[in-house]
Amino acid sequence: MNDIIFVGLDVHKATVSVAVAEGTRGGGVRQLGAIPNRADHIAKLVEKLGKGGRRLNFCYEAGPCGYGLHRQLTALGHDCMVVAPSRFR
């Protein structure tokens, strides 16, 4: 199974809100809720979402709380795009 899962993150100092969209035509979109902004919880999320060989594409808004998160996600072998909203005005 080689599906793509798109994962949107809303990153804050204490928590990360998570939403996912299936990368297939007609795929579902759902809010998974918030998890603590800690490396062990992020790793657990990545493991859960990546089961079955799924490719994960992460995206979140640039801010002061996300530098370590980007490094962790890319070190785990997943794509991660950090978006600067000021670039789209």
* Residue 56, pLDDT score: 95
Please name the residue that has the structure tokens 């493991």: 47
What distance in Å separates the CA atoms of residue 32 and residue 17, rounded to the nearest whole number? 8
Cross-strand pairs, 61: 83
Domains and CATH numbers, the chain: 4-77 (3.30.420)
Is the model's pLDDT at 1 over the cut of 60?
no
Among residues 82, 40, 75, the alpha carbon closest in space to that of 59 is found at 82
**What confidence tens digit (pLDDT) does each residue in 19-73 have?**
999 887 788 899 999 999 999 999 999 999 999 888 999 999 888 877 889 999 9
Q: Give the count of beta carbons closer than 10 Å to the beta carbon of residue 66.
A: 19
